[in-house]
Structure 1
Amino acid sequence: MFSFQNEVFFSNILHDILQQDNALVSRAVSMKMENFTETSEINDLFDLFTYNKGASMARMLSSFLNEKIFISALKSYLETFSYSNAEQDDLWRHFQMAIDDQSKILLPATVKSIMDSWTHQSGFPVITLDVSTGIMKQEPFYLGKVENQTLLTRNDTWIIPILWIKNGITQSLVWLDKSSKVFPEMQVSDSDSDWVILNLNMTGYYRVNYDRLGWKKLNQQLEKDPKAIPVIHRLQLVDDVFSLSKNKYIEIETALDLTKYLAEEDEIIVWHAVLVNLVTKDLISDVNHDIYTLLKKYLLKRLTSIWNIYSTIIRENVAALQDDYLALISLEKLFETACWLGLEDCLQLSRELFRNWMNHPENEIPYPIKTVILCYGIALGNDKEWDFLLSIYNNKTKEEERIQLAYAMSCSKDPWILNRYMEYAVTTSLFSFNETNIIEVVAASEVGRYIAKDFLINNWQAVIERYGTKLLVSLVYVIGRTIITDLQITELQQFCSHMLEEHQRLTVHAQLQTIKKDNLKSKERNARIAAWLRKNT
């Protein structure tokens, strides 16, 4: 159960904040009240950094104390300050009192000093361990390390608790309380079974990097016996390695090497982490058919086992999923990827579930995969399925359900159906809820992008009348999401210039330049992924 709690905490709390937090733009958890003058500024503090990062700080504190001391100190604090105000230092003081009352746990500094190093500065550290020498160093984590090289002179350090395992055995807690330190006990031998993982149960609020040998040892262990590495750490390795490669700390090839063992991976939460990081929007949008073919061959070879487990459950005992929280939050990406890769059983199951729902509307499509099934039911069908979905849409009153159906109707592969859809949007009141831009919804699909552009050329006044020029600007971004040259930007600007006001044209030009820059980076990354796949498929 404890391991399950770690994975749930990662999925619900830790993952999102680690994606957004970094040393440049994020704020510290603890802020001085005199810095705020407006009520709205104070209200803005009740955000991901307060709740998710704050929860992660508390969990880390509990990990290097122990649950008994943590609860005892927290209870003392709550009893002392019930019905009164308190400050952050009051909390640390009660933890310090609990520490002083025992002799088993020794800290390298006061609780206040340790926790202030985490709560009074923005971002978090990335720790790098050289397993050949045992040298460990810390540095602030940046989004795009190389791009921000001039900013890497920040001397911030954290007092970091390092809980770790070696060859599957939990080791004693150590502390990294300076920029670098040597831990001889963390060196590994030439033995294939010698490996180290830092950040036990992901209780520390940091990412972990290793030298080439460290990653190689972990790859060897995964390919030899992945179950020797606990699920939470297989999840951690995937999440850390892809984040580090995306932000230029390591090569993308290092991350891809870590996926070779996946045929033996039967934990859907780990698969979810792989697919979310590998099968990204920019990769799906890449017009290079070569990478799709290579990825299809590579992933389907490894995906069969996990697919068979959950497709069987969907067909035979879908109610069993209600007790599998990690499956509920992971299934959509698995089904979406399997169908996108053209796995015939996924496409067939989508047809089965959609048609069964058409014939017996009381038999709802399983909620975790409903968005995928609706989309592929429409993509694999014709106007009969589309008209059925429209009738369902007209009878729904909940906004969330109507939005889900509106997006599903854009999955059609038939140009005439998509054209009719957009005509309905601008000439009828069918899709007036929440001002969702149906033209933009259609343009977001690969088939619909070109159809939406042509529709806009012929109906731009009706579109502006229906949605306004503000939504027109966002539509231009969607249509131009794959641009990689200045010529493409010029053509798109010429296409929309008569539809926009002067200040909007300037905004669009700047944003399209940003899109181009990002796409060129993605194209370079995807080219390296394709080259790696050619060697390993």
Structure 2
Amino acid sequence: MPKTSVVSKAIAAAFVVLTVSVIGGIITMIILYKTEISTMNPTPRPTRPVSTTVLPPVMRLPKNLIPLSYKVFLMPQLYTRIIEKVNVTSPNQTMDFLGNSTVSFQCVERTSTIYLKSMNLAVSNGKVKNENTNKMIEVSAMKTHRDDTNFLEIQLREALEEGGNYSLFLTFKGEISENLDGMYVSTYVEGVPEFLVATQLEPADARKVFPCFDEPDMKAEFHVTIIHRRDTIALGNAEISGSNIVDDEWKYTSFHPTPKMSTYLFAFTVSEFTATPSTHERVQINTYARPEATAAGHAQYAASITGKILSFYENYFGIDYTQKKLDQIALPDLAAAAMENWGLVTYYEGSLLYEEGVSSVLNKEQIATTIAHELAHQWFGNLVTMKWWNDVWLNEGFATYMSLFAVDNVEPTFQLVTFEMDALASSHPLSPPQEEVQKTSSIIQMFNSITYCKGAAVLRMLADIVGERVFIEGVKVSNYFKPHLVDMVAHWLVARFMEPWTKQIGYPVITINTTNGEVNQKHFLFNDSAESRHVKIGYMWNLVRVSTGSTALINIFKGPILFKKDEFLSKNGEWILANINCTGYYRVNYNPENWDRLLTQLEIDPHRFPPMNRGQLIDNAFFMARAKLVEVTLALNSTRFLRKELDFLPWQLTVRNLEYFVVMFDRSEVYGPMQAYLREQVKGLYNSLRNYTDKSTIPKDHSSQHSQMLAIEVACSNELPECLEMATKMFADWMNSNNTNPIHPNLRSVIYCQAVAAGGKKEWDFAWARYQSSSDTSEKEQLRVALSCTKKTWLLNRYLEYTLDPDKIRLMDVDSTISDIAWNPAGHALAWNFIRAHWDYVSQQDGDMLINAVTSRFSTQFELDELERFKAEYDLGPAANEVYQAIEQTHVNIQWVRENKDAILEWFERETAE
């Protein structure tokens, strides 16, 4: 049942006191602002001398002070509209913000020094008060450390006593960022250029907005007031408690206290956006977007499922969402796909807005999955938070895992279901030691596919072992969500079963020998020689016996019969297939005889195996081959049955695995026979869907829609004539149709790319013009990617130059645009040279994606030497770990190509000659 809210007289009285303090703070800040702008010059970024104080021995804040609450006033001075100028750096625009804060805290260990975190802020006017005695404590010195600690050090004339309650008042000035971090500016055009203010504080950027105890376990309540332009609205973590006009230019908005939360979840926006409401019996839900997008109904799909997803989680976890309101906002610029700020979830537009007739089924899936992921965080991460960033997988792994259940509940037709980077020795454990994750750059590196995907995979494995019902009971309110039992749950999840899976790098390969019944495990690595350099010998993982009382280590599918027992001997030539439904986070290898039986069964009657297991066999075969545990020709043999395959999953896994072959050989003589083989294999799938494709329509079945998109991509990229003819004709029809697009939304991304690849300047310029004129986020994204598909190097080079101009390519799209060009064999070398020439600019969004893309084809000693030189000569920042992984991967690539090229060429030539 919904809970009823009652405001007591005591709370009402407190509001009166708060209102008085709010108005006083507003008046003070407006006076300060009027004084500031009287000079008609924006406040420059503050500079500070380097502190000579000896720093504490670690990067972390001392735990002698425990924050209780913050009272924060913020005044972003940005204009939302500049009619005469369109550039945020125009002298008419104001990129400064003012603020003051009062943090109340308890002293648990006597100290005469207060440490907070502060970065890029000019902090002044520090005042410390003993809240027990109302006595002021004199501040003797205040210094900001300009190093990786970001410490704001406040020295006191007298010590704070253990058990005492104190408060610290500070005023500060800062600069609104143009780099999508901290408090930043975002821009869009609806008739005239418009600007808004938003925040992105995870993991360690709250310190750029106000001085604070900026660590995840140092939670506190937040009492927030935003002073903003009169024609804008302010949104925050909690519901609005009051709003009023101050003068002809300014108004203020105050918010109710937040739940006790981490600083990285603090958020607010100031914009002219409008809302689309959602239905929920207890929580007020609104989805905000640009007025034009709201009026066109682009937020309607998100609004229609958000309340359902929230209700699903409330029922599933057995605990209500803890706030009275939930706002979502679609931002034109956001560094991530979305951010789970408590009560104010921010999204990149393409992750939230859906336009019927323009957006594809993939867009709809992404929106549903992203909303489900961020709403899961309202429990996993916001309500219960990891103590430090080394365990961020508990946030992201749970949210990734739970989002699949939520999406299945609201969109059951989607049927949603990452080993690869975890197979490198330079990978990292899910939960590394805290001392290895101290600097901000190290924290940022934890937000990767291992944290998200491996985290979800090991949770899925645990749920399969204990049973889904037992698993969810273990994380419901009666257990996981009771703060005093968090340590117990961590013990349950990690110490007893999960520790080998979370504390060790990578995952195992289980080898089954069906001739003698032996089963063993070892650490799976692409490069065995790396093990002796990087990895402890004797890695072992718990393979818990299934809970049915059986003695089996793993599920087995023997012949046509599903059973569970510890018998791994093949009798009468039967095949054995392990890890049914792929619930275990490990790979499986077999003796050659069992591999032959399995692949023979695939060719004779592939449907004896369900689609997931057909895909599993292909995936395991290719990974075993890359690790040199089986011959590479065995992996290729596993694809022979595909000429009869019409299901999506086996094809998807084949394409994903053959991507490695493509990037290794698309500049060599292997590529021609490889394309010829794939043309033949995909004909059956393409022709089965051609009746839809030629008419630019789609099948009703959701899985078949995915198959259709994949079939066109494989057929056209491997130059199947009828596919290329279809794609170029559809694109030409669009060019000649007076702006009416005849291509079905599901097919646009692949048709655009293939037509631009097959065309020249005319097709590219048409796509560029549509990219510039389109206001639909998904359409712009599809066109932006398609522009990178051209084979004309001069067009690709011009496109790279466009990434340096934020009026052409937004900063948040720079790394993905360059990466798309790098994935194109015609643009690979261009992109590698370009990022080295412009590293300071292109790496502003961390550079992770760039490194993976531009080094993907490196397979020669010369390329390795260039990469080593890049590591030595450039300030890599958060991209350092990706460069180390790229170096290791390049070593692997060099050896793999040297050992396998001849056999692969011979295999493809033989298969295409038949």
Q: TM-score, normalised by structure 2?
A: 0.45
- 1:39 positional shift: 8.7
- Residue 239 and residue 327 in structure 1: after superposition, are their counterparts in 2 closer, same or farther (change >3 A)? farther
Matched, 1:376 2:754: yes
2:677 pairs with one of 298, 301, 308 = 298
Which residue of structure 2 aligns with residue 169 of structure 1? 561
Cα separation, 2, equivalents of 1:24 and 1:277: 20
- 1:127 positional shift: 0.4
Which residue of structure 2 aligns with residue 240 of structure 1? 620
- Residue 504 and residue 57 in structure 1: after superposition, are their counterparts in 2 closer, same or farther (change >3 A)? closer
Letter of the 1:503 counterpart? E
Which residue of structure 1 aligns with residue 246 of structure 2? none
| Deviations 1:321-353 (CA, angstroms, capped at 9, x unpaired) | 5x515743x655443321122101210221232
Q: How does 1:115-514 map to 2 (within 5 A)?
A: 115-149=498-532, 151=535, 153-161=537-545, 162-172=554-564, 174=565, 183=566, 185-191=567-573, 194-280=574-660, 282-283=662-663, 286-289=666-669, 291-316=670-695, 318-320=697-699, 323-325=701-703, 327-328=705-706, 332-360=709-737, 361-363=739-741, 365-397=743-775, 401-402=779-780, 404-414=782-792, 430-431=808-809, 434=812, 436=814, 445-447=824-826, 467=838, 478=854, 484=860, 486=862, 503-504=873-874
Which residue of structure 1 aligns with residue 454 of structure 2? 53
Cα separation, 1, equivalents of 2:791 and 2:453: 40
Which residue of structure 2 aligns with residue 21 of structure 1? 422
- 1:233 positional shift: 0.8
CA contact (8 A) 2:752 2:783 kept: yes
Cα separation, 1, equivalents of 2:885 and 2:666: 19
- 1:267 positional shift: 0.9
Q: Which moved more, 1:312-321 or 1:222-231?
A: 312-321
SS in structure 1 of the partner of residue 699 of structure 2: helix
- Residue 342 and residue 128 in structure 1: after superposition, are their counterparts in 2 closer, same or farther (change >3 A)? same
Cα separation, 2, equivalents of 1:435 and 1:345: 33
Which residue of structure 1 aligns with residue 484 of structure 2? 85
Cα separation, 1, equivalents of 2:789 and 2:447: 37
Cα separation, 2, equivalents of 1:112 and 1:205: 17
CA contact (8 A) 2:696 2:744 kept: no
- Which blocks of at least 5 consecutive residues in structure 1 are unaligned? 96-110, 175-182
- 1:237 positional shift: 0.8
Cα separation, 2, equivalents of 1:389 and 1:30: 45
| Deviations 1:67-86 (CA, angstroms, capped at 9, x unpaired) | 44445x437x5325545333
Cα separation, 2, equivalents of 1:521 and 1:478: 19
- 1:383 positional shift: 3.5
SS in structure 2 of the partner of residue 156 of structure 1: coil
The number of equivalent residue pairs is: 478
CA contact (8 A) 2:526 2:892 kept: no
The list of structure 1 runs, each at least 4 consecutive aligned residues, that deviate by more than 6 angstroms after superposition, is 31-44, 422-428, 437-441, 449-453, 472-475, 509-516
Larger radius of gyration: 2
- Residue 418 and residue 45 in structure 1: after superposition, are their counterparts in 2 closer, same or farther (change >3 A)? closer
- Residue 152 and residue 119 in structure 1: after superposition, are their counterparts in 2 closer, same or farther (change >3 A)? closer
SS in structure 2 of the partner of residue 128 of structure 1: strand
- 1:382 positional shift: 3.8
- Residue 67 and residue 83 in structure 1: after superposition, are their counterparts in 2 closer, same or farther (change >3 A)? closer
CA contact (8 A) 1:272 1:334 kept: no
Which residue of structure 1 aligns with residue 463 of structure 2? 62
Letter of the 2:873 counterpart? H
Letter of the 1:237 counterpart? L
Cα separation, 2, equivalents of 1:478 and 1:44: 19
- 1:171 positional shift: 0.8
SS in structure 2 of the partner of residue 208 of structure 1: strand
- 1:210 positional shift: 0.3
| Deviations 1:135-173 (CA, angstroms, capped at 9, x unpaired) | 11111222322443565732434234411110121112x
- Which blocks of at least 5 consecutive residues in structure 2 are unaligned? 1-404, 546-553
Q: Which moved more, 1:247-256 or 1:42-51?
A: 42-51
- 1:87 positional shift: 3.0
CA contact (8 A) 1:371 1:408 kept: yes
CA contact (8 A) 2:428 2:505 kept: yes
| Deviations 1:420-475 (CA, angstroms, capped at 9, x unpaired) | 6678778996456557388886676444568899xx9xxx9xx96xx577659989
Cα separation, 1, equivalents of 2:604 and 2:421: 34
Cα separation, 2, equivalents of 1:139 and 1:439: 38
Matched, 1:530 2:905: yes
Letter of the 2:753 counterpart? C
CA contact (8 A) 1:268 1:327 kept: no
| Deviations 1:114-133 (CA, angstroms, capped at 9, x unpaired) | 44443443322110000111
- Residue 368 and residue 147 in structure 1: after superposition, are their counterparts in 2 closer, same or farther (change >3 A)? farther
CA contact (8 A) 2:698 2:705 kept: no
Letter of the 1:520 counterpart? I
SS in structure 2 of the partner of residue 345 of structure 1: helix
SS in structure 2 of the partner of residue 372 of structure 1: helix
Q: TM-score, normalised by structure 1?
A: 0.72
CA contact (8 A) 2:748 2:782 kept: no
CA contact (8 A) 1:140 1:156 kept: yes
**Which has the larger share of helix?**
1
Letter of the 1:260 counterpart? R
SS in structure 2 of the partner of residue 405 of structure 1: helix
- 1:217 positional shift: 0.9
CA contact (8 A) 1:269 1:326 kept: no
Q: Which moved more, 1:436-445 or 1:159-168?
A: 436-445
| % identical aligned pairs | 27
Cα separation, 2, equivalents of 1:452 and 1:81: 47
Letter of the 1:163 counterpart? N
| RMSD (Å), alpha carbons | 4.7
**Which has the larger share of strand?**
2
Cα separation, 2, equivalents of 1:115 and 1:452: 41
Cα separation, 2, equivalents of 1:318 and 1:390: 25
- Residue 163 and residue 384 in structure 1: after superposition, are their counterparts in 2 closer, same or farther (change >3 A)? same
- 1:288 positional shift: 2.2
SS in structure 2 of the partner of residue 144 of structure 1: coil
- Residue 417 and residue 113 in structure 1: after superposition, are their counterparts in 2 closer, same or farther (change >3 A)? closer
Letter of the 2:911 counterpart? N
SS in structure 2 of the partner of residue 197 of structure 1: strand
Cα separation, 2, equivalents of 1:482 and 1:29: 28
